[in-house]
Amino acid sequence: MKVVWLPAAIANRDALIEYIAQENLRAAIKQDESIEKQTDQLVEHPEMGRLGRKRGTRELVISQTNFVVVYRVKPKEKRVEIWRVLHTSQAWPA
């Protein structure tokens, strides 16, 4: 499996990390590293997230953060597509 970040997910992640960095750069870096480390595990364990609230998706709760990564497993293409990175306070799906 390969993890592919879709443009919307990259934009979500960047915005969340930039927001945190305004108050605490070290915390922003640490949380970004947590997102990276845990989503990298999807290569070997693509089903590790819970079933998503949107049909066909899964959700990976990023431990020690307030983030949820929404993704879709595409076994035929041997890839995991990261759709969104959300703060737990955000409504999903809209």
Going from the N-terminus, what domains does the chain have, and what CATH number goes with each? 2-87 (3.30.2310.20)
94 contacts 18 by C-beta, under 8 angstroms: no
Mean pLDDT, the chain, integer: 94
Local structure of residue 57 (DSSP, 8 states): -
Say what the pTM is: 0.93
Q: How confident is the model at residue 94 (pLDDT cuts 50, 70, 90)?
A: low
pLDDT in tens, 56-73: 999 999 998 899 999 999
pLDDT at 47: 94
Percent with pLDDT over 70 in the chain: 99
51 contacts 42 by C-beta, under 8 angstroms: no
pLDDT at 18: 96
